[in-house]
Amino acid sequence: MNKLVSVIVPVFNREKTIRRCIDSILTQTHGDLELILVDDGSQDGTGLICDHYDRVDSRVRVFHNINHGVSYSRNYGLDHATGEYVIFVDSDDYINTSYIEHLLEKTENGELALVVGSLVVKTEGKEEKYNMNAYCPNGTIYNDYYALQKISGGVWNKLYRRMSIKDNHIRFNEDMSYSEDRVFNIEYYSHLEYYGIASESIYTCDYVPDQDVIHLSFEKTEKAFRSELEKIKKERAFAESKKIQHRDELMSDAISAALGTFCRLKGEGNDYSAFQRRAEEIRNAAGAMKCADTWKRRLVQICYNSGFLYPVYVYYCHKQKQGMC
């Protein structure tokens, strides 16, 4: 299948992992690809490593920018992509050798604008695999948005049709510091009826906790909280417009994420009165909820619907102290 695939990799200070990432892309069984490396102002040896691959492989293009963030870098890559399809890979992750080949096979000769692969998450020696088999065991074409978000709301493990992104003016929100990929996906999904499943395509996310994330400043965490609110609004609007099944479960997860972000706030404003103000913002963004399928969601929803979210906040603070959140 001779279809050009653009692989966009935003890069920032990843000299220890970038070679593994690039090698996994350039050794694909589907060789008709262009690799777009967008260096977001790296201050280590990452840029030099990227330039080396640019010299030895004609499929590689490298762009060096000042630091703007991952959303800017992905948008920049989209602006320079020429492939029929696009995939995104993070610079500390990697893909299996037949990843692109199997994704393309499930596009049904170009009829489908999205194909979803499997996701492996490695965290401090532990490994967990996620795929769509539990949601669609009898086929390779599906239309359940809830399943998509449960497996991976990120842009990992997915193949997108580039013109669907361009024609619908879909961009990564450069003002968001978190969940920008989930909001990108929500906008993309709004133009879909079905998507394909390629369980043989395996994307490995080798997660290493980032000290900059663990020790967020008040300003950065406040911005993260605003990003979570934006995601809630997008999730709600999309779920209502598409009449999504499990809408309340989706909203409960989004609310939990916003509360978890709030628990990381440091400094001024991290008190009960500040919490109540933010809880009201969450309620205004999410609207009403009805049902839940787990005790955690029931806790969130009972407190949420009663207008008293503080017990959930205490729960998340406790989990955070235990290193579980």
Residues 200 and 136 in one domain: yes
Does one domain contain both 117 and 166?
A: yes
d(CA 302, CA 4): 50
H runs (alpha helix) in 43-141: 46-56, 70-80, 99-105
Average pLDDT over residues 3-26: 96
Q: Are residues 176 and 309 in the same domain?
A: no
Given 141, 172, 207, the domain boundary residue is 207
Residues 49 and 173 in one domain: yes
**32: pLDDT strictly greater than 50:** yes
Whole domain around residue 215: which residue ranges?
211-321
Does 258 lie in the same domain as 243?
Answer: yes
User: Are 190 and 134 members of one domain?
Assistant: yes
Inform me whether the pLDDT recorded for 28 exceeds 50: yes
Q: What is the CATH number of the domain that holds 67?
A: 3.90.550.10
Residue 151: band (very low, low, confident or very high) from pLDDT cuts 50, 70, 90: low
pLDDT of residue 194: 84
In this structure, the answer to whether residues 194 and 221 fall within a common structural domain is: no
Tokens of 55: 């010299």
pLDDT reading at 281 higher than 70: yes
What is residue 313's predicted lDDT score, i.e. its pLDDT? 55
d(CA 135, CA 44): 42
What's 156's DSSP letter? T
Q: If you average pLDDT over residues 283-291, what whole number do you get?
A: 65
Tell whether 169 and 46 lie within a shared domain.
yes
pLDDT tens per residue across span 34-86: 999 999 999 999 999 999 999 999 999 999 999 899 999 999 999 999 999 99
Is the pLDDT score of 315 beyond 70?
A: no
Please tell me the total count of domains within the chain.
Answer: 2
Q: Based on the domain organization, do 36 and 136 belong to the same domain?
A: yes
Share of the chain above pLDDT 90, in %: 40
| Predicted pLDDT at 265 | 53
Q: How far apart are CA 104 and CA 94, in angstroms?
A: 18
Span of 201-205, 231-235, 289-293 with lowest mean pLDDT:
289-293
Q: Tell which of 174, 190, 207 closes a domain.
A: 207
Residue 50: its pLDDT value, please? 97
Supply φ then ψ for residue 63, to 5 degrees.
-125, 130
Element (H, E) at 228: helix 218-242
The reply to whether 111 and 227 lie within a common domain is no
pLDDT digits (tens, 9 = 90+) for 191-209: 888 888 888 899 999 876 5
| pLDDT on residue 298 | 55
Q: DSSP code of 112? A: -
Looking at residue 300, its pLDDT comes to 59
Mean pLDDT of 241-253: 69
Same domain, 15 and 106: yes
Q: Are residues 200 and 228 in the same domain?
A: no
Task: State the chain's mean pLDDT as an integer.
Answer: 79
Span 41-51, pLDDT tens digits: 999 999 999 99
Looking at 207, 240, 258, the residue that finishes a domain is: 207
**pLDDT score of 64:** 96
